[in-house]
Amino acid sequence: MAFSPDSKLAVVTLELAGGLAVLRLDEGAPELVRVVPPAEEGDQPGEAAFSPDGRFVYVSVRGRDALDVYALAEGGELERVQGVPTGGHVPRHLVLTPDGRFVLVGNQEGGTVAVFPRDADSGRVGKARLFEAPTPAGLLLV
């Protein structure tokens, strides 16, 4: 589950169903805003993260071994704007740098961490540089 920077929304990866759920977090119980179906058959989303400005959501997708980029519209709607290969197998965890300039994805079975440059205006990512790392299942920036 990823929380928006203002803590008003959350995105939940539905790994077995292949999609995403968007929740509104007002006072009281969370409210389901929308379930986003899988972008492609066989998708298994792993991790989700919001951009620092809360305008975009990034999702690691196993099956396709990809990073999907979604634009967040008013009301909690998600529109997929990009899907790019992570350059490895079984992308699991991902993080954005605090300044939002890069997205890092751990390819657990590929033995690499993919580092994507990120355009803050469009949310899109460029070509990844791969760095060797044995079985990266989780990433932490310190």
- pLDDT tens digits for 1-57? 999 999 999 999 999 899 999 999 987 789 999 999 998 899 999 999 999 999 999
CA-wise closest residue to 73 among 58, 54, 92, 89: 54
- pLDDT tens digits for 94-132? 999 999 999 999 999 999 999 999 999 999 999 999 999
Q: Domain 2-132 falls in which CATH fold?
A: Methylamine Dehydrogenase; Chain H (2.130.10)
**Tokens 């077995």 appear where?**
16
* Distance of alpha carbon 66 from the chain centroid: 10
- pLDDT tens digits for 49-103? 999 999 999 999 999 999 999 999 987 899 999 999 999 999 999 999 999 999 9
Tell me the domain boundaries of the chain: 2-132
> Rounded CA gap, 45 and 13, in Å?
6
Residue 76, beta-bridge partner list: none
Count Cβ atoms below 10 Å from residue 73 Cβ, excluding itself: 10
> Rounded CA gap, 139 and 135, in Å?
11
pLDDT of residue 142 exceeding 90, the answer is no
**Would strands 66-72 and 78-85 be described as parallel, antiparallel, or unpaired?**
antiparallel
